[in-house]
Structure 1
Amino acid sequence: MECCYYLVFLPAAAAGVLDGFSDLQLRRLTKLYRQRLEDATADVAHAVAFSLYAKTVIANVEYEEIAGIDSDKASQLLLQMVLSKEDAKAARAMWQSFTDFRENNAFLKVKKILQEIEDKGDSLHKEINWAPDEVIHDCLVAIHRQHQEILRKRNATLALTSIHGCKLEKTFPLDKHFTELLIIPSLRYQEQVQHELLARGREHAEWRKQVLRRSLEKVRHHEIFGSSFGKCTHCLYAVISGVAGIGKTTLVQKIVHDWAERKIYGQFHFLFQFKFRELNNYQERTSLKQIILHSYPYLEKDLKKIMENPNRILLIFDGLDEFQEPIIFPDIQTKSSNSETKGTSCLYLESWCSIPDIIRALFQGQLLLGCSVLVTTRPTALESLQKAPVHLYAEILGFSEAQIKDYFLKFNSDTKVSLEMLAYVEDNAILYTMCYNPSYCWVICSSLEATFTSPRLRDWSPPKTITQLYANYIHNILKNHAREAEEPRELLLKTGDMAYMGVAERVIVFSDYHFHRYGLQPSNFLSGFLMQILQKENSLKDVVYSFFHLTVQEFLAALAKFFQTPSPKLSQLLDETSTTKDGRYEIFLQFIAGLSCPATTGQLKDLIGEVPQENVYKVVDWIKQRFESAQRHKIQLLNTLYYLFEAQNKALVQETMGQVRQVDFSFQIMSPVDCYVLAVALGHCQQLQNLHLFNCSIESWGMKSLKNVLHKCVNVRLAQNRLGDQGVKFLCEALRKPDCQMQTLELWMANLTDGCVEDLCSALCTNVSVTDLNLKDNAFTDRSVPTLLQLVEKCSSLRTINLCNNLFNESGRQKLEVFEGKMKHTRPELKIKV
C-alpha cells in the first residue's frame, strides 16, 4: 500500500541563529549568499514567491511578475525584490520560508545552506562584518601596478593547436575565448579516488548527477576566495581538482588575468603563480624568496615590504599531479610531535627547505601566516593533501550546455561555421555529451572545422559516432602531415601497439624505453604529424610523452589491434578484454566495434590499407554473443548497446533488439549519451511492455533522446530523475502521438513545478491510454490546482493520480478532495491521492 503524507514543518536551529541578526546583518548575510541562493532556488522560486505573497511581504503584482517567467530568471528576480525592500521584513520571511520547506526534496541545496548557517552559528556575525578590502601601502603602489601589468600580459592569450593548415598553434585573446567551467565544492578524495584511466564516463556522470540534483553547488572562478563557500568566508587554503583536459590550467590563467585586470579578488595586493612541473627543477634546497624572485626578479627591492602583510597575498600552485616528490602532512594528533617534522622547519621567507617542506609550511601556517594558497591537481594526487588543513575543495566538471555553445562560437571566427558545427553536434548526443570536457570539445571542433570549412570536404559525411570522430581526426592529421612521415601506416600502427600496452598496463606517460620497445624513434615525434597526437614533456630525468587525451590513446590501440590481429586471436582478445571488471577496456571495445563499420574505416583505406573482412565478421559475432549473455547485467547490457551503436549495423540491431519486451536500468546512472544509445536501440523494438528507468539520473537532455521511443512502452517508470519542466515537455511529445501505448506513468520526485502543468495537462487530455499517473514528491503549488482538476476531468482514461507531498496549501488540497467526491457517481474508479 502506497504511503501518503503531508509536509511536516519543523523549527530549524538555523532560524534561531538568524533571529539574532539585526536588519543590517541579515541584509549583509543575504547579499553574501545571494549567488548561491539564486542557484539553490532556481527550481522552487515560484513556490517561495507564493509563500511570501501569502505572508503579504510582496504584493500580488510582484508575485505575478515572478510567476510569469521561467524558474532561473524567477530566482534572480525574487532575490532582487527581497533586497530592494527598505527593511529586512521580506528577507526574514524568505529565510523563514526556506526553513519551512527544508524537508521537501526540491530544497536540497537550500537545506545545505541552512545547515551551513546552523553549523557556523555565532561565527557568522564575524564573517559578514569582515572587510575584504584594504588600501595598499603608498610605497608599494608603483610595484603593485607593474606586477599586475606583467601578469596581465603573461596571461592575455590562450594557445590552441590546429590540426590543419601550416601553423601548429594559434593564439586567441583569453577574454574572448575563455569559456566558464562548471565547478562544484566537494571532498572527492574522501569518497572515491580512482585511477586516472577510470575517472570519467559513468563515474563523471555520477558527479554531474549530484550537481543537477542540487545536492552540490556551483562555484564560479571569482568565488573561490572571499565568498560564503568553504569553512569560512575569508578562505585561506583551496584545492581544485579535475581530470585530464578539463581546464585546470586555463582556469588558473583566467584567475590570474582577471586579478591583474582588477576584476576579482581585490583583497589580494600581490598574486604569485607557479607550476609544479617547473618546481621539479629545484633539486637542492631553496627558499620561498628564491622561488618568487626566480619568476618575478623585478620584485627584489620590495619583496620584504610586500611580505609584511601576508593577509594580502595569494600563491597559486598549478598541477600537483606533475610534482615528482611527495608532500607529507603529519596527522593532526601528531602535529606537535617533532618526529615527522624534524629538520624541515620553514618559518621565514629566507629559510632554506625542500619544495615539499615549503608547500607544507604554507598550508600549516608556519610560513607567511595568513596568506592564501590555491593548488590545482588531477584527482590521482588528492590523497597527498588528505591531512592538509584545506578550507575549500572544489572539482571542475567541465562545460554546461550554455558553456559548450559559448566554446563553439569562440572556436571559429566565422559565426555561421560555428553555428553549423554546433547544430550538427547537438543533433548527435554521442558527440554532444563528450563536449563537457574541453579537450573532447577541442577534438570535436578541430575535426569538424575541416569538414565545414573546406569546399572539397563538404560532400563528406560528418562523423556520427565517437569511432567516426576519431577516424576523421586521425585522417585529417595524416593528410595534413603526410610528407613528414615516409611510412605513416607503419608509424601509426606501432604507436597503436604502444598505446594498447598503455591501456592494458595503465601507462599514460611514455619514455624512450617504451619507444625503443616498439621500434619507434622519439625524433620522429619532434617534426612529424604525431606532434598532434602526443605531447612532449620535459621531466627532471628525461623527455617523456603522453597522448593528447586518453581517448586518442584508446583509439590508436583499437586501430592497431583491429588491423593487425589475426581473426582467431581477435576473438580471444575480445573475450579477455570484455571480461575485465575494472573498466579499462570499455572505450577500447567501443572503438573495436566501431571499426567494423565500413563507413567508419573507409576514409582510412588510402592511409592504412584494406579492412580485414574476417575481423569485421568476428566483431559482429562477438557483439551478438555479448548481447545474449548481458540481458541480466545492466552495465554489460549498456556497454553492448554502445557496441551496437558504434557498429552502425541496422541488420545487427534489428536481430538483437527486435523481440525485446522489457528493459530495466533502475538505479543505473544514465548519462544523456546513455539515453541516446538506448533510444536508438529501442527504436527497433516492436512493443516494450516495461521500461524501468527509476532513479537513473535522467535529465531533460536524456528525455530529448527518449521522446521518440517512449510511445512504444506500456509501463514507464521515470521516477526519481531530474526531468524538470523541460524534460516533461519532451515527454509530452510522446504522449501526444496517436499510437501512444503508455498506461502507467511514474513521475514522482522528478523535479516538476507549476511550469510544466499546462503542457502535461494538454498532452494527457489528448491521450487515451494513460490510466495511472504518479506525480507525488514534486513542487506543485495551489497555482496548479485548477489545471490539475481540468486534467482529471478531461482525461477519461485516468483512474489514479497521486499528488502526495507537493507544496499545496490546505485550501488546494481541499479543492482536490472535494472534486474527487463530486466525480464518485460518474467515475467511481477515479482516485485522487493528496
Structure 2
Amino acid sequence: MKGRDWPQLLIKPVNYAAVASRVLDGFSDLQLRRLTMLYCQRLEDATAEVACAVAFSLYAKTVISKLEYEQITGADGDKASQLLLKTVLSKEDAKAARAMWQSFTDFRENNAFLKVKRILQEIDDKGDSLHKEINWAPDEVIQDCLVAIHRQHQAILKERNATLALTSFHGWTLEKTFPLDKHFTELLIIPSLRYQEQVQHELLARGREHVEWRKQTLRRELEKVRHHEIFGTSFGKCTRCLYAVISGVAGIGKTTLVQKIVHDWAVGKIYGQFHFLFQFKFRELNIYQDRTSLKQIILDSYPYLEKDLKKVLANTNRILLIFDGLDEFREPIIFPDIQAKSPNSQSKGASHLYPESWCSIPDIIRALFQGQMLPDCSVLVTTRPTALESLQMAPVHLYAEILGFSDAQIKDYFLKFNSDTKVSLEMLTYVEDNAILYTMCYNPSYCWVICSSLEATFTSPRVRDWSPPKTITQLYANYIHNILKNHSREAEEPRQLLLKTGEMAYMGVAEKVIVFGDHHFHRYGLQPSNFLSGFLMQILQKENSLKDVVYSFFHLTVQEFLAALAKFFQTPTPKLSQLLDETSTSRDGRYEIFLQFMAGLSCPATTAQLKDLIGEVPQGNVCKVVDWIKERFESAQGHKIQLLNTLHYLFEAQNKALVQETMGQVRQVDFSFQVMSPVDCYVLAVVLGPCQQLQNLHLFNCSIESWGMKSLKSVLHKCVTVRLSQNRLGDQGVKLLCEALRKPDCQMQTLELWMVNLTDGCVEDLASALSTNVSIRDLNLRDNAFTDHSVPTFLHLVENCSGLLTIDLCNNPFSGVGCQKLKLFEEKLRRTRHGLKIKV
C-alpha cells in the first residue's frame, strides 16, 4: 500500500493528567457511571494483571471496604478484575469510579498499564464527542407497527443461521451438522489492522507474521474484541462505531463469525440497539451486472418485508447491514480521497441517495459508508487482507483482524470433531508432534481439513499400513484419496474426474477465479451443478446465490492442490520447466502454494496413495521438478524470502538425496531480520540435517522463541558460529539450547545470546552444559537480566569451561560488588588462561 499507513496499535504521547481531568471533572456522576459501563469489558481485560494494585489504591482512599479489597486480591487474574469493576459499579455514588480512573493516571508509568493507557488515549482522541457516545440510548423500544415483522425477521434469521455444517470423510458419513452455539469456538480478534505489500502467497506471509502477533495477544499486550463488542462499545474512533471492517486470511472464520453475529442478534443476545439486521454476501452481489437499488437487493433476500420495508428503513440508526467477503466482489469500490481526512465527515456537496435509487452495487456500498444513503445506519464488511486497499479511503471507524484459534481452542475443536474422545485425542497428539500440521491449525479451515483427513486414517483398519501425513502435500493427498474412495460413484472414472476438476481449479488460480458456475463445469467436461458427482459434492461448497447457484472449493488450498495435481500429471515433460518458471516468477504470489504442492508431488511416498486412482507418476516430470528445485535453490542465495520458500519445497519433496545435494555443501545460512515461524524453524532443522558442519548460522532478530529451539536444537551442534541475539528465547529456550551444547560432537565455537530475555533461572543449566563442552570459545550474554545471584555460577562456569576465551556480560544489572568479583576472578585465572576476558 502506498501513500498511507493503516491504523496501528501505537501509543502516542498523551497528557494523562489532562485526560483524567476531563473524565473526573467534566462528567457528572451519572455520566461517569455510563462511561465506566461503556468501557467495562475492556477495563476488565486491561486490569487483569493490575487489579490488586488498583484495589489497594481504592482501599487506601476508603472508597471500598476491607472485605471488598480482600475479595479482589484473593481472586486470580480475570476474576480479580471482574470483581474490581463489579465492586466499583455497585456503589450508589461515583466516588469509587472517580478513584479508579484517578488511579489509572497515578499508575501511568507502570508498563503493566499499557492497555489502560490505550483506553485513555482513545478518550483523548474522542474529546467532547464522548458525551454523545455515552448518552446514546441503545435500547429504544421498537415501534408497535413493526413488532410483528421484527419478530418474523428474527425467527427467519435464527433458522438460517442455527446450524453449522461440516463434512466428514469417514465411512459414508457425508455431513455433520452442529448447533452453532455448541460448536462455535470464540476467535482471537484484535482491534487493529496490519498491512504490508506481499510478494509471496497471502497465507504464507500472514502465517509467519501471525505467530508473533498471536503471542502478543496472549501475553495481554494487545486487546481482544469479542463478536458482541464491534458496535455500541468503546472500540472505534468516533462517537459511536458505525462502519467496521473485519479482516482475515482465507478460512480464518470470517463467514462463521458473521453467522454467529446474525444468530445471536436473532435470538436477542446482542445488539439490541438494532431493530433490523440485513446480511449479504459479496459473491452473490456479483450477479447484479446492471444498476439496482438497496431496496431491491434487500427484497431479493427478504421478500416477506415488501409491505413494511419503507417503515423499517425510516429509522436508520436502528439498522445494521453486513456485507461478507469483499475480496470476492468483482468490481472496485473507489472512495474519494477527501474521506481519508476525517472519519466522521461526509462528502460535501454529494447528492443524497435513497434506498429506491437505482445505481451500481459499488455506488450503494460507497453511499452507505459516506452517509449519503441511510445516514446513521451501521455497516460491517468482512474481507481478506488482499482486498483492503479498496477501503483505504473509506471513513471506517473500526478495523479489526481475526487471528484464528489459540492452543486451547485448537484442542477444543479436535474434541468436538469426533464423538470418540480417544480418537480425538490420538489425532490431536499426532498433530501436536508435527510442527507443520499443528501450526496450520490456528486457521479453522485448515483445522477442519486436518481433522477430516486424520479421522479416516485413525479410525480405519488400514492405519497400520498407512502412515499419517507429515507434509502439507501428504495431508491433501490423503484428504482427496479419502473423498474419492468413499464418495465417488461406480460410474465415475476417478482419473478423468480428478484431472478435469484440477484443470478447472488451475484456471481459477491463474485467473483469480474462486466462484464457479455451470459454464465453468461445461468448459472442462464436468457435470453441471444439478448433477454434481459425489466427489465434487464433497470438495465444493454450494452458494445459493440470489439469482443463481454457484460453487467454490471448500478452501483455496484445496483448489491449489487439485490444480497442482492436474498440472503435474498432465503437463508434457518438455513444457513443465516453462510452467514452473512462469509461475515462480509471478510477482503477486498467487502460485506460491501451488508450487509447494508441485514440489511435494515429486515425492513417491506422497503420490503412492493416489496411484490406484490416478495411475503411475510421470517419472520425467518428477525429474523436472527436482531439477527446478535445485535451480531455485541456487538462484535464491542472498534472497531470504525466496530461500525460505525453497527450503519449504525441499521439505515437501521429502527427497533425502536432493537435500544432501543442495544443502550438503552449504557453509552459511543467514535469515537475520526475517520473521521465522515454528514451521520455518522445523523445516530449517530438517534440511540442515545432512550438513556435517555449518560455519555460520545467523538467526539474528528472527522472532524466534522457545518453540523455535525445540526444532533447532537438533542441528545447532553442527554450527561453528551461532547468532541468536534479539530473539525472545527466554530461560526455557536456552535450556533447550543446552541440549546441543552437551553433545559430544558439538562444534560450536561462537555463541551470541545478547538481548534474548535471559534471567538467573537459566544460569545453572548453561553452566552445567558448558562444563563438559570443549568447543566453545566466545559466549556473548550481554543485555540480559542476570543479577548478583548468578555471579558464583558464572565464576564456576568460566573455571570449568577450559576452552572459553571471552564471556561478555555487559549491560546486565550486576551491582558494583558483583562486577568487581567477576573482574578479580578474571585477573586470577589470566595467569593460567592467557587471553581470557570477562566483560562486565
TM-score (norm 1): 0.81
3-state secondary structure, aligned to 2:809 = strand
Aligned residues of 1:202 and 1:670 also touching (Cα < 8 A): no
In structure 2, what is the equivalent of residue 18 of structure 1?
Answer: 20
Q: Distance in 1 between matches of 2:583 and 2:331?
A: 34
Counterpart in 2 of 1:6?
A: none
Shift of 1:450: 0.6
Q: Can you list the C-alpha shifts for 1:89-139, whole angstroms capped at 9, x where unaligned? A: 565444443x4256xxx9876665554344334544554565544455667
Structure 1 residue 577: deviation in Å?
4.0
Residue 15 of structure 2 aligns with an amino acid whose one-letter code is A
- Is 2:565 the partner of 1:559? yes
Give secondary structure in 2 for the equivalent of 1:418: helix
Matched, 1:654 2:654: no
Matches of 2:642 and 2:581 in 1, distance apart?
13
1:224 counterpart (219, 226, 230):
230
Deviation at 1:597, TM superposition (A): 1.9
CA offsets, 1:228-269, max 9 Å, x none? 321036211112233332222211110111223333223334
Name the stretch that deviates more: 672-681 or 328-337. 328-337
What is the distance in 1 between the residues matched to 2:459 and 2:629? 37
Q: What is the CA distance between 1:682 and its match in structure 2?
A: 2.6
Paired with 2:37 and 2:796, the residues of 1 have a C-alpha distance of 46
- Which is bigger in relative contact order (C-alpha 8 A, separation at least 6)? 1
Q: Residues 735 and 763 of structure 1 are in contact (CA less than 8 Å); yes or no, is this contact kept in structure 2?
A: no
Task: Trace 1:668-683 onto structure 2 (pairs within 5 A).
Answer: 668-683=674-689
Deviations 1:127-173 (A, max 9, x none): 45655444556676665555434432321101122334445333111
- Greater shift in the superposed pair: 437-446 or 299-308: 299-308
1:200 to 199, 203, 208: 203
Q: Deviations over 1:301-360 (max 9, x none)?
A: 76666555433332222233444555454443796566xx56xx424x565665544433
- Partner of residue 615, structure 2: 609
Decide whether aligned partners of structure 1 residues 38 and 635 sit closer, same or farther in structure 2, where only a CA change above 3 A counts.
Answer: farther
The CA RMSD over aligned residues, in Å, is 4.4
Structure 2 residue identity aligned to 1:14: Y
Listed as ranges, the matches of 1:221-370 within 5 Å are 221-232=227-238, 234-279=240-285, 288=294, 291-292=297-298, 295-296=301-302, 307=313, 309-323=315-329, 327-332=333-338, 345-347=352-354, 355-370=361-376
Q: 1:467 aligns with which of 467, 473, 487?
A: 473
Q: Residue type of the partner of 1:453? A: T
- The sequence identity of aligned pairs, in percent, is 74
Is the 8 Å Cα contact of residues 822 and 838 (structure 2) preserved in structure 1? no
The 1-side partners of 2:46 and 2:282 are apart by 36
Q: CA offset at residue 415 of structure 1?
A: 1.9
Amino acid at match of 1:766: S
Match of 1:809 in 2: none
Which residue of structure 2 lines up, in the alignment, with residue 821 of structure 1? 820
Give the drift of 1:217.
Answer: 4.3
Q: 1:118 to 1:91 in 2, by over 3 A?
A: closer
Deviation track 1:446-502 (CA, whole Å, cap 9, x = no partner) reads 111111122344531111011111111111121123435532212322333343344
Q: Is the 8 A contact 2:671 2:700 kept in 1?
A: yes
Instruction: Give the corresponding residue for 2:109.
Output: 100
Q: Which amino acid aligns with 1:673?
A: V
One-letter amino acid of the counterpart of residue 320, structure 2:
L
Q: Deviations over 1:20-61 (max 9, x none)?
A: 43297788767655655676788xx58x989999999799x9
After alignment, is 447-456 or 538-547 more displaced? Answer: 538-547
- 2:779 maps to amino acid: D
Q: 1:682 to 1:431 in 2, by over 3 A?
A: same
Report the equivalent of 2:182. Answer: 176
Residue number in structure 2 paired with 1:404:
410
How far does the alpha carbon of each residue in 1:790-832 deviate from its partner, in whole angstroms, 9 at most, with x for none?
A: 654554358222446xxxxxxxx5x633311233322356767
- After TM superposition, list the pairs within 5 Å mapping 1:415-564 onto structure 2: 415-510=421-516, 515=521, 518-522=524-528, 526-535=532-541, 537=543, 545-564=551-570
- DSSP-derived class of the 1:22 partner: helix
Which whole-Å CA distance do the structure 2 matches of 1:15 and 1:411 have between them?
52
**Shift in Å at residue 604 of structure 1?**
1.2
Partner Cα separation in structure 2 for residue 263 and residue 737 of structure 1 = 59
- How far is 1:536 from its partner? 5.1
The one-letter code sitting in structure 2 at the alignment partner of 1:316 is I
Deviations, residues 166-191 of structure 1 (Å, cap 9, x unaligned) = 45333111011112223233455xx5
Aligned to 1:772: 779
Matches within 5 A, 1:388-399: 388-399=394-405
1:800 aligns with 2:803: no
CA distance in 2, matches of 1:31, 1:822: 56
- The 2-side partners of 1:11 and 1:391 are apart by 21
Match of 1:623 in 2: 629
SS at match of 2:594: helix
Supply the distance in 1 between the matched residues of 2:741 and 2:53 (Cα, whole angstroms). Answer: 30
Q: Is the 8 A contact 2:405 2:442 kept in 1?
A: yes
Given the superposition, is the C-alpha separation of residues 700 and 64 from structure 1 closer, same or farther in structure 2, using an over 3 Å criterion?
A: farther
SS in 1 for 2:676: coil
SS of structure 2 residue aligned to 1:274: strand
Instruction: Tell me whether 1:643 sits opposite 2:646 in the alignment.
Output: no
Q: Does the residue aligned with 1:660 lie in a helix, a strand or coil?
A: coil
2: distance between equivalents of 1:723 and 1:702?
8
Given residue 13 of structure 1, which amino acid in structure 2 is its aligned partner?
N
Structure-2 separation of matches of 1:282 and 1:560: 33
Show the 5 A alignment for 1:101-180: 112-113=118-119, 115-124=121-130, 127=133, 132-136=138-142, 144-180=150-186
Offset of residue 673 of structure 1: 1.2
The 8 Å contact of residues 55 and 73 in structure 2, kept in 1 or not, is answered as no
Deviates more, 1:125-134 or 1:550-559: 125-134
Question: Deviation at 1:391?
Answer: 0.7
Amino acid paired to 2:242:
L
- 2:796 and 2:46 map into 1 onto residues whose CA distance is 36
2:723 to 707, 714, 717: 717
Asked whether the 8 Å contact 1:202–1:671 carries over to 2, the reply is: no
On the 8 A contact 2:795/2:825 being kept in 1, the answer is no
Q: Secondary structure at the match of 1:163?
A: coil
SS at match of 1:827: helix
| 460 and 712 in structure 1: CA distance in 2 versus 1, 3 angstrom threshold | same
Instruction: Choose 280-289 or 765-774, whichever is displaced more.
Output: 280-289
For normalisation by structure 2, the TM-score amounts to 0.81
Contact 2:781 2:807 in 1 (8 A): no
Residue matched to 2:212: 209
3-state SS in 2 of match to 1:254: helix
Residues 823 and 838 in structure 2, CA contact (< 8 A), matched pair in contact too: no
Which amino acid in structure 2 is aligned with residue 178 of structure 1? F
Pair 302,499 (structure 1): closer, same or farther in 2 beyond 3 Å: closer
C-alpha separation in 2, matches of 1:27 and 1:743:
63
Q: Is the 8 A contact 2:47 2:81 kept in 1?
A: no
Q: Which runs of 5+ in 2 are unaligned?
A: 1-10, 89-95, 340-344, 828-835
Asked if structure 2 preserves the Cα contact closer than 8 Å seen for 1:246 and 1:397, the reply is yes
**CA spacing shift, 1:700–1:252, aligned 2, 3 Å:** farther
